[in-house]
Amino acid sequence: MSIGNKNYVIFDTTETGSINFTEVLETSIHTLRLSVSGSQTFVKYEGDTMPTSVSSLTTKEGPYSHTEILNILTGSEWTDPNSDI
């Protein structure tokens, strides 16, 4: 599985129930990473075609490449500067 072939889409956690987990690389709602506020999450998928359940999201941002999502996830919205980890 090549990192270069993966795409990432950020969306509001209010829409997690709309994701078909057979279409994305996460396995369930419990494996989603949340933003610091808990209001956003993201999924990743392979290839150029966005999965139907992802393209149907109304709050989606992206798609982002691997490099782009890494830059986003190092920001204060996704990484708590006060965390001990």
42-85 pLDDT per residue, tens: 999 999 999 999 999 999 999 999 999 999 999 999 998 776 65
Establish if 84 belongs to a structural domain: no
Two tokens, residue 18: 């709309």
The yes-or-no verdict on residue 29 having pLDDT over 90 is yes
> What does pTM read for this prediction?
0.91
Q: Please state the domain count of the chain.
A: 1
Establish if 82 belongs to a structural domain: no
Establish if 10 belongs to a structural domain: yes
pLDDT of amino acid 82: 75
Mean of pLDDT values over 9-34: 97
Cα distance between residue 72 and residue 29, in whole Å:
21
pLDDT of amino acid 85: 54
Establish if 81 belongs to a structural domain: no
Establish if 8 belongs to a structural domain: yes
Mean of pLDDT values over 3-19: 94
Mean of pLDDT values over 20-36: 97
Could you tell me the residue range of the domain that residue 12 belongs to? Answer: 3-73
